[in-house]
Structure 1
């Protein structure tokens, strides 16, 4: 097994493509709901983001010349930041090469560099809770500092009866994609101006159409639900699901937005069910809905969120937890330099 520090300033185009291909494979295996970074985004991160505040570095592990693991991390240059920040989404071991100590050896290299740079703490982000990775890091002495909750739902595998929640009396639903139908354009502009508290010219029909044209050029995709009052046909609430292609098509429903006169939990809950129902019927090619929830720093904060998690489960969502973890460099070095056969990843 060979370990090398990747130099972005000396790497050839073929070497960049090799690293990018590995990252795409890793992302699709471990985080299928995420869109992997493009090749341009990856290269610009390493070539352009070396600043006075931090330096972005990348270690690679190779076996018979092929990449089997990688670890990207930031060396912070600010005195207040006595740690190396490691993004777990780019610390990965190939699925076929896990449990062989490769991840442990990479962590040993990173820990040594942290000490060389005068850092006393290592922080790892977005470790999925309840996984072998979390258990491995706990054995090494890592402790949680923050928890982020995520909700995911497989549309085709979920009982649609869970979304059979009618709209409150006096409201009706309409839907569209990236362009507002002409018949709803003026009501939609008035709704935007009211809900955002902005002058009407900020959300004029021409401004909305210009935004749609730019979104089309960017390749954006979405599903919009709008709630109309039965009396005058005015739009009083919306819910938008941004649709992106990760390993497959994933919808990301955003929060319900309502005017002050029509806010309420019944309408909000009905919209949450309606967006899933509409995705399943109008966009059957979308495989999954995913929502990133809030962050928690104390266990009691997460306990207070349990009611919301039960409500999301009632719609068919499963809750996943991602943790930020940290460990002190000196004791971690002692563990890694000792008998690490029981601390392998």
Structure 2
């Protein structure tokens, strides 16, 4: 498509027109592809661009223009360390411009950046199951390797009595905002290894191998981005070790939404209700500090029926299914070049 121009998009230097164009595409796409989600405001979109999720490596953006107007956007995370073999890509085209080769032109333009960084695989996450993005990626040869569900708890509709969960015998709570206390950080890092039991299907993404130094670096990155990170852990009284953990983030551009991140319980301590207990405490704690909170939201592997059930017991509802798609860079490039 020779009339489509692809440009690098730098959030630090982007002007108002480019930011408005980016918002127009993402907001219109969300309205069509995710109609049950609240409308995406301009301020929220710009906040997302300036404060991307931590833990996934550097984020780059590209835009597609036709006739002087932005018609599509693409971004890619470049994970590091264990996941330096892959990128996490997202391509969006304005609904009025779909079916015109813009998405494929964007994908074709970013393949050199993937290859230049030595990546072998492309993964697309949180693609609505059965939607336009699913169909487009499948035509390019992507395969579904994992399925997730999104779960949401709306505070206005919440039954907060569900958060009154008794402490399991033999455990106590510890909690913090920001950095883990020195006395617990080593045990906390060791407990995070339990997250490796969380199902990721056949995704090539690996959970991090945590160390104290790596944890301190992650904490520092969240502070730099002004992300409020809260952690609640269950400590086994007899040994003083962390037996379970749950983590939550509040982004500075969206202070009334809380994103529930990892929750994990060590295998030796499962069956005592620790996950529900610490998540319930997290909800009470956050709402006490933030009475204007509107919602909690989280994503969970579709086969992780235990955690889905725990979330339901706390008042979450499942709002949609999404998939993870994967493709080798070599095959993707060949498929794109074969297109007319």
TM-score under structure 2 normalisation? 0.57
Who is 1:66 aligned against? 69
Aligned: 1:312 with 2:311: yes
Who is 1:192 aligned against? 185
Gaps of 5+ in 1: 47-55, 75-83, 181-187, 295-301, 338-345
Query: In structure 2, how many angstroms separate the alpha carbons of the residues matched to 1:242 and 1:12?
Result: 22
The alpha-carbon deviation at position 4 of structure 1 amounts to 0.7
Aligned: 1:283 with 2:290: yes
Match of residue 102, structure 2, among 103, 106, 118: 106
| Contact 2:226/2:252 (<8 A) preserved | no
**3-state SS of paired residue (1:280):** helix
**What is the aligned-residue RMSD (CA, Å)?**
5.4
Counterparts in 2 of 1:322 and 1:161: CA distance versus 1, 3 Å: farther
After superposition, residues 110-259 of structure 1 pair within 5 angstroms as 125-126=124-125, 127-135=127-135, 137-138=137-138, 140=139, 142-156=141-155, 157-169=157-169, 171=171, 173=173, 175-178=175-178, 188-196=181-189, 219-225=226-232, 227=234, 239-247=246-254, 249-256=257-264
| Contact 2:25/2:92 (<8 A) preserved | yes
**3-state SS of paired residue (1:4):** strand
Query: In structure 1, how many angstroms separate the alpha carbons of the residues matched to 2:89 and 2:267?
Result: 39
Counterparts in 2 of 1:270 and 1:19: CA distance versus 1, 3 Å: same
Who is 2:89 aligned against? 87
Gaps of 5+ in 2: 35-39, 78-85, 191-210
The alpha-carbon deviation at position 129 of structure 1 amounts to 1.6
Cα deviation, 1:293-313, whole Å, max 9, x if unaligned, reads 45xxxxxxx6x5344434433
Counterparts in 2 of 1:104 and 1:116: CA distance versus 1, 3 Å: farther
Aligned: 1:272 with 2:279: yes
| Contact 2:72/2:93 (<8 A) preserved | yes
| Contact 2:235/2:243 (<8 A) preserved | yes
Query: In structure 2, how many angstroms separate the alpha carbons of the residues matched to 1:143 and 1:160?
Result: 42
**3-state SS of paired residue (1:255):** strand
Aligned residues: 279
Query: In structure 2, how many angstroms separate the alpha carbons of the residues matched to 1:259 and 1:154?
Result: 27
| Contact 2:144/2:325 (<8 A) preserved | yes
Query: In structure 2, how many angstroms separate the alpha carbons of the residues matched to 1:217 and 1:329?
Result: 37
